[in-house]
Amino acid sequence: MPPETAPAADPANPHKKTRARDVESWPTLKRFLPYLWPKDNTPLRRRIVIAMTLVLAAKAVTLALPFAYKGAVDAMSGTASEGLTVALALVAAYALGRFTSVAFDNLRNIAFERVGQVASLHLAEDVFHRLHRLSLRFHLARRTGEVTKIIERGTKSIDQMLYFLLFNIAPTIIELIAVGVIFYINFGIDLVLATAVTVVAYVWVTRAITEWRTKLRREMNDLDGKALHRAVDSLLNYETVKYFGAEKREEERYSQAARAYAEAAIRSENSVGLLNMAQSVITNALVAGAMAYTVWGWSTGSLTVGDLVLVNTYLIQLFRPLDVLGWVYRTIRQGLIDMAEMFRLIDTDIEVKDKPGAPALIVNRPTVVFDNVTFGYDPGRTILNGLSFEVPAGSTTAIVGPSGAGKSTIGRLLFRFYDPLQGRVLVGGEDIATVTQDSVRAAIGIVPQDTVLFNESLAYNIAYGAEDADLARVEQAARDAALTPLIERLPDRYATMVGERGLKLSGGEKQRVAIARTLVKNPPILLLDEATSALDTRTEQEILGTLKRIAQGRTTIAIAHRLSTIADADNILVLDHGRLVESGDHAGLLRAGGLYAEMWARQANERREDDTAPAEAAE
């Protein structure tokens, strides 16, 4: 569903959740209703109509059954010869009615099942679509476990919401009205008023206690999400935990969250007992009073034994759905809470948006220009300060500088993960803020420093560069990326699973997969974001050779830490504190004796120290 205006956050605490009463009642229900009655799906709406018809038919049969029961009992009160046939017929009708009611209920479930599943599917698709369009800022700050839990609870809740609203709340209201009419006709206004007062008291007590339980449940959900987040975060960083021998520390962090969840769960579940006892007192008081009233009427001759059975049967039938009213109310209330949490995800502002009617980027000459770009991730902390440079088509431009100079930020702006605060980024002469994001990203390939792979096959990860890539294209890209020797050693070849985040591959192997993936994409512009800085020297040289081959005929931007890897670049840009302080080729920058020459000399000294260390150790 399209997002609506999100609830205002507390300025003093932007992460504080708004009160459930404000966002989880009518506004949430209003956004939920289109999933119940989809405008563009006539077969689904027809199923809902059939299901509701079966609900009414089942309820009509259920309301008629007590009269058959009463008739059988009254027939048995007379002589055996006179009442036998009538009693047997009424007993048979009673049994047939019970079967018919069960049949209608199950046919209703069969008709409705697709409605619930399709509604859950559409909601899940809407959330997943929205999450992929949220900004990089959101995903860098997110807690994966908690987001996953919110989506899981929210999508599951819609099926329950549909079921209870249509097949519990609505039929119960119909039955309350029908029983009131029957009691008025057969027993007068006194029993109707007593029933009405009892039902009102029952609903009030149920709602009051359930509201209290809802607060406990919300606390339990928050702690559950925290425990899951800590578990997922720890397992994703398994190697780091091992490096620092922090297993006990991680176990203690998880145990703290799990223990807090357990205590909250105990409080929540204990409150169920209080609710059940309060409900039982109210319902049994009415049953006792109504039956005593019927016995008194029997003693005066105004009522029959069958009337006692009639009243008792109707009250049992009436309170059967009311007995679970607390559970239904809690489920619906919790469903509203879970869906409100999910709708808050959907309502999260999309920081980078395409302009309405924005055209696709067409790159005739793959140039890249930063025109007086100013940018910072947080207010008051500027990363790039009026940065301007141009990368000519077909050239290789390197970007270097000390840590924190803003090198990686250039890549994020180029892919339009963020928009500049001032200035423009142009690709092929077009301001990327005026064209679609998809077309911008389609024109740029990247080999990142940390290549993250999907827990799928090698072929899947290589082919991820282009949706239409076939096996021949994948194999050619693997050959060009020098992956063939590795693949030939693997028993499953291209079907080899790489493990979560590619952990089954070495750093160099993952980099070659990233290169192959980019070759499959075949973009005119290539971004190398410190693509070899995490590799050993031998692997680095092998990867550099491959990168030079794939950079031929493309516009290449190489962000580098080790200056030796970009010494042959056509142009080198030197950044410091987000400003361009030097530019030129390697030889010219060394002659200038500025920041680049200083960085080159420092790295050369470090290399000499590394080379002499083994010899000194041998002596």
DSSP string, 227-244: HHHHHHHHHHTHHHHHHT
Residue 199 has pLDDT above 80, yes or no: yes
Amino acid of residue 162: L
Q: Is 131 among the domain residues?
A: yes
Q: What's the pLDDT band for 144 if we cut at 50, 70, 90?
A: low
Q: Is a pLDDT exceeding 60 seen at residue 23?
A: no
What local confidence, expressed as pLDDT, does residue 326 receive? 62
Q: What is the pLDDT of residue 209?
A: 77
Flag whether 24 is in a domain. Answer: yes
Coil, strand, or helix at residue 385? strand
State the Cα–Cα distance between residues 555 and 562, nearest whole angstrom.
21
Whether 203 maps to a domain, the answer reads yes
- Residues 411-420 have pLDDT tens digits of 888 888 888 8
Q: What is the dihedral of CA 102, 103, 106, 107, to 10 degrees?
A: -150
Most confident of 5-9, 338-342, 347-351, 538-542: 338-342
Q: Does the pLDDT value for residue 373 go beyond 60?
A: yes
pLDDT at 7 exceeding the cut of 70: no
Does residue 81 have a pLDDT over 60? no
Among the residue ranges 92-106, 424-438, 484-498, 585-599, the one predicted with the least confidence is 484-498
Check if the beta carbon of residue 114 is closer than 8 Å to that of residue 44. Answer: yes
* CB-based contacts of 213, cutoff 8 Å, min separation 6: 268, 271, 272, 275, 330
Residues 6+ apart with CB under 8 A from 617: none
Read off the pLDDT of residues 329-343 as tens digits, 9 standing for 90 and up. Answer: 767 777 777 777 777
Helix segments in 481-552, DSSP class H: 484-489, 507-521, 537-551
Task: Report the distance separating Cα 423 and Cα 592, nearest Å.
Answer: 29
The yes-or-no verdict on residue 71 having pLDDT over 70 is yes
Q: How would residue 45 be classed by pLDDT, with cut points 50, 70 and 90?
A: confident
Q: Identify the CATH number of the domain in which residue 227 sits.
A: 1.20.1560.10
Mean of pLDDT values over 562-580: 83
> What is the CATH number for 605?
3.40.50.300
Beta strand extents in 236-379 (DSSP E only): 368-375
Task: Find the helix packing angle between 80-133 and 26-36, rounded to 10°.
Answer: 100
Instruction: Give the residue from 122, 596, 248 showing the smallest Cα distance to 400.
Output: 596
- Is the per-residue pLDDT at 460 higher than 50? yes
**Least confident interval from 9-13, 553-557, 607-611:** 9-13
The neighbouring-strand residues paired with 444 are 525
368 and 421 both lie in a single domain: yes
Q: Are residues 170 and 249 in the same domain?
A: yes
In a domain, 414, yes or no: yes
Residue 500 half-sphere exposure toward CB, CA atoms < 13 A: 6
Confidence tier at 3 by pLDDT (50, 70, 90): very low
- Domain endpoint, select from 520, 549, 568: 520
Closest CA to 195 of 297, 329, 293: 293
Distance from the Cα of residue 541 to its chain's centroid: 41
In which band, very low, low, confident or very high, does the pLDDT at 201 lie, cut at 50, 70 and 90?
A: confident
Domain boundary, last residue among 347, 375, 390? 347
Evaluate whether residue 122 is within a structural domain. yes
Which of 430, 291, 422 lies closest to 361, judged by CA?
430
585 pLDDT higher than 80: yes
Q: Is the same domain home to 309 and 372?
A: no
What pLDDT is stored for residue 418 in this prediction? 83
Q: Are 383 and 376 in contact (CB under 8 A)?
A: yes
In a domain, 2, yes or no: no
3-state class (DSSP) for residue 579? strand
In whole numbers, what is the pLDDT of the chain averaged over residues? 76
pLDDT of res. 114: 76
pLDDT tens, position by position, 378-413: 777 788 888 888 888 888 888 888 877 788 888 888
pLDDT band for 87, please (50, 70, 90 cuts).
confident
**Rounded average pLDDT over 214-238:** 76
Question: What local confidence, expressed as pLDDT, does residue 21 receive?
Answer: 45
CA separation for the pair 180, 192 (Å, rounded) = 6
182 in the same domain as 139: yes
* Residues 335 and 201 both lie in one domain: yes
75-84, 267-276, 544-553, range with the lowest pLDDT: 75-84
Please report the pLDDT score of residue 500 as a whole number: 54
Q: What is the mean pLDDT of residues 156-182?
A: 78
Write the pLDDT tens digit of every residue in 243-264. Answer: 677 778 778 877 877 887 777 7
**Given this model, what pLDDT does residue 1 score?**
38
Are 580 and 464 found together in one domain?
no
**Residue whose token pair is 């619906």:** 332
- 15 or 334: which carries more pLDDT confidence? 334
The 10 Å Cβ neighbour count of residue 127 is: 20
Specify whether the CB–CB gap between 400 and 421 falls below 8 A: no
Burial class, 398, CB count within 10 angstroms (exposed 0-12 / middle 13-18 / buried 19+): buried
- Please check whether residues 283 and 415 belong to one and the same domain: no
Residue 468, φ and ψ in degrees, nearest 5 = -100, 15
pLDDT value of residue 606: 65
**What is the tens place of the pLDDT at every residue in 523-542?**
888 888 876 665 556 666 66
Same domain, 475 and 603: no
Cβ neighbours for 240, distance < 8 A, ≥ 6 positions apart: 246
Q: Give the domain range for residue 558.
A: 357-443+523-619
Strands 579-584 and 571-576: antiparallel
323 vs 202: which has the higher pLDDT: 202
- Using DSSP bridges, classify how beta strands 444-447 and 525-529 pair: parallel, antiparallel or unpaired: parallel
How many domains are contained in the chain? 3
Closest by CA to 290, choosing from 314, 306, 325, 321, is 314
pLDDT score of 76: 78
For residues 363 and 246, state if they share a domain: no
Residue 335 maps to a domain: yes
Residues 339 and 431 in one domain: no
When pLDDT is averaged across residues 179-203 and rounded to a whole number, the result is 85
Query: Residue 400 falls within a domain, yes or no?
Result: yes
> Which of 320, 347, 374 is the last residue before a domain boundary?
347
pLDDT exceeds cutoff 60 at 424: yes
The predicted pLDDT at position 325 comes to 67
- Please tell me the distance from the alpha carbon of residue 547 to that of residue 567, in angstroms, as a whole number: 14
CA–CA dist 355, 59 (Å, integer): 54
**11 or 605: which leads in pLDDT:** 605
**286-330 per-position pLDDT tens digit:** 888 888 888 888 888 777 788 888 888 888 877 777 766 667 776
pLDDT of residue 16: 42
Q: Is the pTM of this model over 0.85?
A: no
Whether 44 and 137 map to the same domain: the answer is yes
Within this chain, do residues 439 and 470 fall inside the same structural domain, yes or no?
A: no
